[in-house]
């Protein structure tokens, strides 16, 4: 078993900035659950997520063009974020850094755990505690990428996760645990 290296978000940003080729990383991160109710400005449920194949350095416009054959497709301008490098974005308001990754539909995203007030809960407990918004209970058809132009079987997702929310990341065979600092 390979040792795990502890690094700060600043050190992680330095590593990610140097990656310029297509690279696959494995990420575990903690994020607010979008389906959760908000109380006094705070989401009530957070989730720990693991994605085994996050692709770095995949240009959104080119990816849609390649998948659809439509060379005229152009992505809309990002709002609220500024590109720092091919792998990093910065939130305009908070100045926090985010990883810019693509997740193929065929890749699995694992929700490892849900949390409410720092305590682990199940989705069923979230229902019992009335923590989910009404949209949690509705099935909503998601439009595919490229404003619906990408075929369902070729669809992919974009993740822009704050570096400060990453718990672990495996890059080029090295696993890093992110520490505060």
Q: Is the dihedral of CA 25, 28, 29, 33 positive or negative?
A: positive
pTM, two decimals, is: 0.84
* Residue 30, CA distances (Å) to 2, 46, 50, 58, 87 in order: 24, 7, 9, 23, 19
Residuewise pLDDT in 10s, the chain (181 residues): 566 799 999 999 999 999 999 999 999 999 999 889 999 999 999 999 999 899 999 888 888 888 888 888 888 888 999 999 999 999 999 999 999 999 987 667 888 899 999 999 999 999 999 998 877 767 777 777 877 788 788 787 888 999 999 999 999 999 999 997 6
Q: Dmax over Cα atoms in the chain, in whole Å?
A: 49
Question: What are 167's two structure tokens?
Answer: 């718990």
The pLDDT value recorded for residue 107 is 67
């Amino acid at each position: 078993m390979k040792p795990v290296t502890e690094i700060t978000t600043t050190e992680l940003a330095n590593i990610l900035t140097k990656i310029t080729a297509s690279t696959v990383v494995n990420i575990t991160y903690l994020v607010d659950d979008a389906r959760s109710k908000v109380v006094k400005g705070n989401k009530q449920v957070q989730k720990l997520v693991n994605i085994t194949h996050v692709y770095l350095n995949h240009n959104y416009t080119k990816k849609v063009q390649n998948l659809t054959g439509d060379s005229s497709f152009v992505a809309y301008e990002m709002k609220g974020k500024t590109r720092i490098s091919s792998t990093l974005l910065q939130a305009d308001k908070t100045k926090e850094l985010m990883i810019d990754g693509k997740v193929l539909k065929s890749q699995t995203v694992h929700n490892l755990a849900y949390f409410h007030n720092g305590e682990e809960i199940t989705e069923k407990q979230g229902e019992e505690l009335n923590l989910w918004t009404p949209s949690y209970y509705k099935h909503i058809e998601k439009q595919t990428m490229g404003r619906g132009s990408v075929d369902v079987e070729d669809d992919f997702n974009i993740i822009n996760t704050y570096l400060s929310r990453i718990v672990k990341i495996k890059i080029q065979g090295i696993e890093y645990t992110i520490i505060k600092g």
